[in-house]
Structure 1
Amino acid sequence: MSRSAMSRRVAVPLAVVVAALAAGGCSADPAPAPPPSGPPTADMRVGLVEWGFTMSASTLRAGPVRLTVTNAGSTAHDLEVLDGHTVLGKTASLSPGAGQTLEIDLSGHSEVTFLCTLPGHRAQGMVREVRVVPPRAVSSTQGATNT
């Protein structure tokens, strides 16, 4: 085999790997949260997975909320809910399959951060901003009619 043919055999797969890594996002920066969909909720299920969160809703309603947290991953995870540097609620470190319920008051909040505090998990992408909507905004959008 000629040297140029061998170079092409190595260069093409290498280029594919580099492109896949670039597209897959090797960055430690978390992906932006998807835009809110569906009505805000006061009762959310949160799954902890490698390396992020699955949620039953994308927006929380201000006021008392219940987060039913389950470690759906294959390694230990936890969930800390923050407003800036203020911890609003935190689970224990959960083994795979374990769960815990958090009841916290989000009155007066407009956004909170979900975060796994175990070493290295935030850098892997286990951080997410979650929008919180005031109750009056929820009721005015649900009661709106088109005339």
Structure 2
Amino acid sequence: MRRIVVHIALMAGAALMLAGCGFADVRSPVPEFMRAKAPEPPALEPAPDVKRMLKEKLDSVFTAASQPTSVRVSEPRPNLRGPGWTACVKAEVISVTGKPLGTRTYRVEISGGVIADRQKVEAEDTCNTESYEPV
């Protein structure tokens, strides 16, 4: 009986030691051949036609009440924070009361061929240095 218990303990110990021999994380401090391979970055989708998107759905960036005029757009750039693309959009807008508000600039995020998000540009944003083309 004692022999069986010893064999079971040895087998369990060997199983635990072998379980630790799996591949380590990409950033683990083990030799390169023991590390798991880094995942491939997702393929970059083709550059979107931002002008066409804005012509079809300008209300995804500016409200209809703001009556945007002189709409201009920058070249799309790959999004550094995730998949998709970003572009900058400028337009002259008016307030709800009819007073001109001046030029408003937004950074739009494009994912899957649609405008997924828009954010107002801050003073330190790169949209201020972009070149724009009329829509």
* TM-score, with structure 2 as normaliser: 0.28
Tell me which protein shows more strand as a share of its residues: 1
Tell me which protein shows more helix as a share of its residues: 2
* TM-score, with structure 1 as normaliser: 0.26
Query: Which protein has greater RCO, CA pairs closer than 8 Å, 6+ apart?
Result: 1
